[in-house]
A = this chain, B = another copy of it.
Amino acid sequence: MTKIPMEYAIGVDIGGTNTKCGIVNRRGEVLQYEQLSTPEYETAEAFVDALCVRLHLMIEKVGGPEHIKGIGVGAPNGNYYTGTIEYAPNLRWQGVIPLADMVSEKTGLPTALTNDANAAAVGEMQYGAAKGMRDFITITLGTGVGSGIVANGQLIYGHDGFAGELGHTIIRPGGRPHWSTKVAGSLEAYASATGVCLTAKEMLQENPGKESLLRKYNMDDLTSKNVFDCAMQGDEISQEVYKFTGQILGESLANFVMFSSPEAIILFGGLIKAGKLIFDPTIEHMERNLLPIFQNKVKVIKSDLHEADAAILGASALVWEMKPASHASL
């Protein structure tokens, strides 16, 4: 019998709104793609059933399961060690869900699971800006702030599988309370889309006499996209918002560098669309807070993964990392 090479990996990205899945080759090309609505399914069992119907469809299209090395899943509060989703605040299913085992049983394919931000880091290492790097950090600046840390060529999972929550590190003790965790002064309270809007509103209130394009918006509906648009049109307050956000982010990056001394920090997500507006103050304040031995060494770069595919790619990359002898659900 000829052995068929297992040339494809499946990536599944479970988000609060949508779950996206795809079949990916070793070069990071998404060959098949499906999606489903996550909150439509009342139980995790019903969700896994619906997911596996889609996976089955895609698998048949590439020639059957013998071509698939395995399935990688990125999920909020995903625990790599146990393959479980634990108390995810933005999913309907409560408690601890043994999702990797459930998917593995239904498909017969080895399944690895981790949180979405860790998956993004593995994706950058496999297909993206971190190819060939052994020490780097990825930071996703989106609705929240996610992160994945690679050191010695390995993802840092910590003793319990939950390492890498850099968005929740404190950078302004006693500062802005986080809307969900209630902790004061975390990075996410400032350097996320929500944080940017809060900063804009604060600056508008603190400078009542100052003209700003932002004032044409209803403050209850203000989005980070509005702040970006106004900044690009030269609006001073909007540009100040980015300077301040970059300062907070840069100070945080300095702390991360002094922790794991990465070769690069790779930024991803909506906030970095602002380009120099956010990169310049970020790099300036990072360098200013570094010990001399770390200065002018660390690259702060944009992810080069295509945003629409990145989550699937990240999840699929877990599969190439699987050890040959790995247990079905790791």
A183/B263 in contact, CB under 8 A: no
Residues of A within 8 A of B (CB): 77, 86-87, 133-136, 149, 151-152, 154, 156-166, 168-173, 181, 183, 251, 254-256, 258-263, 288-289, 291-294, 297
Q: Which 7 A-B pairs have the closest CB atoms?
A: A158-B261, A163-B261, A159-B263, A135-B159, A169-B255, A165-B258, A151-B156
Contacts of A183 in B (CB 8 A): 288-289, 291
B293/A156 in contact, CB under 8 A: no
Q: Closest approach, in angstroms, between the C-beta of A158 and any C-beta of chain B?
A: 2
B260/A149 in contact, CB under 8 A: yes
- A163 to B263 Cα, complex, angstroms: 11
A158/B87 in contact, CB under 8 A: no
Query: Assembly of this chain: how many copies?
Result: 2
Contacts of A170 in B (CB 8 A): 171, 251, 254-255, 289
A contact patch SS: loop
Q: Closest approach, in angstroms, between the C-beta of A311 and any C-beta of chain B?
A: 21
Contacts of A259 in B (CB 8 A): 149, 156, 163-166, 169, 256, 259-260
A160/B261 in contact, CB under 8 A: yes
Some 14 contacts from A to B, beta carbons below 8 A apart, are: A87-B293, A136-B159, A151-B154, A156-B259, A158-B261, A159-B261, A159-B263, A160-B261, A163-B261, A165-B258, A165-B261, A165-B293, A170-B254, A183-B289
Contacts of A161 in B (CB 8 A): 261
A163 interface neighbour in B87, B133, B151, B292, Cβ under 8 Å: B151
Contacts of A173 in B (CB 8 A): 171-172, 251
A135/B158 in contact, CB under 8 A: yes
Q: Which residue of B lies closest to A135 (CB)?
A: B159
Contacts of A165 in B (CB 8 A): 258-259, 261, 291, 293-294
A152 interface neighbour in B157, B254, B288, Cβ under 8 Å: B157
A258/B87 in contact, CB under 8 A: no
- A256 to B243 Cα, complex, angstroms: 26
Max chain B CB contacts within 10 Å: which of A152, A172, A256, A294? A152
Contacts of A149 in B (CB 8 A): 259-260
Contacts of A171 in B (CB 8 A): 170, 173
